[in-house]
Structure 1
Amino acid sequence: MTRLKINTTYLKELEKENTRILMFKKGNQIDDITDEIRNWFKEWFYGYGFFPEFPYEIEGGTILVVRGDYPSIEEKQEMDEKTLKETKGKTKEQMKEERARLKEEKKMKAQMAKEAKRKEDENLVKARCNPFSDPGYKILESAALPSLNEALIGYRAAWSLFDEMPKDKFGETIYGYMKPLLTEDLMKDMHLECRKIIDEMMRLDLKMLIQKHQADFKSMGKTFPKVKPRKKPKAPPVPKPVIYDKKLIKQTAPVFDLNLVTKPTTKLSEVYGDLNYAAYNFNIIDPNASFPFPAYGDIKDRIRLSCIMGCGIQAGATRRKSVMLLGPERNGKQFLADAVAGELSKIFWVIFWKDSRV
């Protein structure tokens, strides 16, 4: 009931804040984005001599420029100088042959590196077979560690402000949401929606500006230079739906036979156990008391909240990406996992990792 009340309060505040932002902020947002894109056109025309190419819609439009992923004027000039050096005094046939030669050299280098890596691995295996020449294991740094450190730094930078907010001014946080974060999310969604509409308008403006620029070249008796367009990125592939036909059943039959995948029918109502009210009593006597171990009924309630409601079957419940069951052997962890799968009518996957059943 507390979760449902929090969610109801949040939805009401969300609708109220969304209406306020649309009434007072949308017009200014549209004007700001329009001025920003026009200034971008001017910077390129006066700094580079030509207008920029409008980013493709699949790239996100001009949001690509905001993120800093679009080439700057200096980078474009460097690319032009590099292209001029590579193509100076060469015919199209010569450039085509050179590109083919470079592609072949790159392919050969990749094959040589792969072969060298294979030989290195073979020599390492042979060395480890001899205790006198075994080099031992070298602990390597995880490739995910830099990204993890960056995420932690960003997390601290983003949340340090909210950790220091005075409770008397920001008391709404106890009701399940933070007003500043709510407003920021709505502003972000509105900004992206407005930018898509303005990008379509600005594409037409850019087309007319380029036509006028071409007319100026023609009036001066000059030829407008041909610009090679940017390579259009590929659209992300659409995942194909899984068709559970006889062929797929036949292919997956061995997995079910080995009990790697099962379809449990156990329900959470089959899990018995009382709640541990001693924890509540201890807390009344001493707020700083150490809680006793939870009873099976406490674990059952936690499983219901985290694993079943956390899958999204009830509005307002916190969604969980993963849950770990930790406990001694033959204490019912598998039974609880089967009960969760049975309640959700889902199949159950079993993964073996380092001789442990997960």
Structure 2
Amino acid sequence: MTLTRKRKLLLATALPLALAAGLASVGVRPTSHPVEAATLGTTSSTSRLEQVLGTPGPVVVETVKAADWEITRAGLLNLDHEKARTAGLEDGPEPIQIFFHALRHPERGLYLVDTGIERALRDAPERAALRGIAAKVMNVDKMRFATDTASWLARQPEPLAGVLLTHLHLDHLSGLPDVPRGTPLYAGPGETRERAFLNVFVQPVIDRTLAGHAPLRELRFQADPSGVFAGVLDLFGDQSLFALLVPGHTAGSTAYLARTPDGPVLLVGDACHTAWGWEHGVEPGTFSRDRAESALSLERLRVFAEKHPEVEVRLGHQVLPAEPRAVGAASR
């Protein structure tokens, strides 16, 4: 073998390894889609929220099941938590759902919280934004579709005014290709800046879901003066809809609290995926970037909900039963 050929072989081997090492050390952002500061929302506090919590509000909330699904329990729950070990919980497929939420405000119009499932994922999977290896990794073959976002939107009498994202994971973004272009899209702070090696594979898929959309609008939180949540925004300025910063699952994970005619509804997103996790105070597992921060945010949400039993809690991927299940009776 000539010296030149040896050098070429060495370069062919070394360059990909060096690139992988570099990406592992600095990471990649989850999306290259442009981002701008949001003008929606004014700084508020938990104490201000609590002052109006008992008064019925104007927002009507509809939770829509996009699909039944199953995914690894170790991602959804911290199985190393003492309570999970005591209950004997083990890894395995956990039945869950994919939801999106429709919020109707008499003046602000129709907003979605998260986006459901793209129609193409069911009808033409080879053209869906979530396809190929990414679809296999995400167990798309385990999805049982209930409602696609395009069909749901087509049935609505009013246009979509905006999308409020709890975070930028694909199971919450996958309906975006069905969302009309030009619709304002809002996300929590730092969601697009969080670097990780895994994003080498995730970024192309998220970029496809966002293709053709206007820049993401990053919500601007200040520290909660009440010290309860990381931040609180009064989104519409009339105390009908609040955004709560609950980081941990992702950097900018955001919950939303709507004051409805029937009482307050709290959409926690993936600050808590499962009914068992909420009932027992066990934070998400390997799907979270910072388990300690995730545990803190979950505890803050649970303390708030316990203080205000009139609040209806809706979780990221399961429905809370009317009565808590016994310890160890995780849904299977």
Q: Which structure carries more helix by proportion?
A: 1
TM range (shorter): under 0.3
For the pair shown, the structure with the greater C-alpha radius of gyration is 1
Q: Which structure carries more strand by proportion?
A: 2
- TM-score for the superposition, normalised by structure 1: 0.17
Q: Which has the higher contact order (CA 8 A, sep 6+)?
A: 2
